[in-house]
Amino acid sequence: MNQNDTGIDKTLGKSMAKWGALGAVIAIPVPFIGPIIGAAAGAGYAYYKGKKRV
């Protein structure tokens, strides 16, 4: 892994954390989904968006 890959991974990690937190907050009032699945969905969206850019 070279230096460029590490920078992309850090950016992707920050994006996944941000979207995961947002997904958890949005899913709190929805009792059937819950914050854990909302966070996973948000992080998955960020991963898809990040890998699509690369």
Structure-token pair, residue 13: 């990690």
Confidence of residue 54 (pLDDT cuts 50, 70, 90): low
pLDDT at 14 over 50: yes
6 band by pLDDT with thresholds 50, 70 and 90: low
Instruction: Supply 6's token pair.
Output: 């590490």
Q: How many CB atoms lie within 10 A of CB 15?
A: 18
40, 16 Cβ separation under 8 angstroms: no
Residue 8: pLDDT band (50, 70, 90) is: low
Domain that holds residue 25: 3-53
pLDDT at res. 1: 47
How many independent structural domains does the chain possess?
Answer: 1
More confident residue, 53 or 45: 45
At 33, which helix (H) or strand (E)? none
d(CA 1, CA 34): 36
